[in-house]
Amino acid sequence: MKSTDFVDSQSLRSDIPNFGPGDEVKVHVKVVEGNKERVQVFQGNVIRRQGGGVHETYTVRKLSYG
């Protein structure tokens, strides 16, 4: 087993719900500005999921009103 595989297996979270393209999700993003830190929340539709495990990414299109 490579050392990166060991780190990846230790970092993998099991509390992520199953979701896919077409689902509506609420995303919490940690924003750091200088020495201040806050959580910004936005809601949108999942467009794409790719990769797997720790390296998995997803694309969300934000819902806007107006």
Give DSSP secondary structure letters for the chain: --HHHHHHHHH--S-PPP--TT-EEEEEEEEEETTEEEEEEEEEEEEEEES-GGG-EEEEEEP---
Q: What is the pLDDT of residue 13?
A: 74
Q: What is the pLDDT of residue 45?
A: 96
Q: pLDDT digit of tens for each residue in the chain (66 aa)?
A: 677 777 667 777 777 788 899 999 999 999 999 999 999 999 999 999 998 777 789 999 998 875
Q: What is the pLDDT of residue 66?
A: 56
Q: What is the pLDDT of residue 24?
A: 95
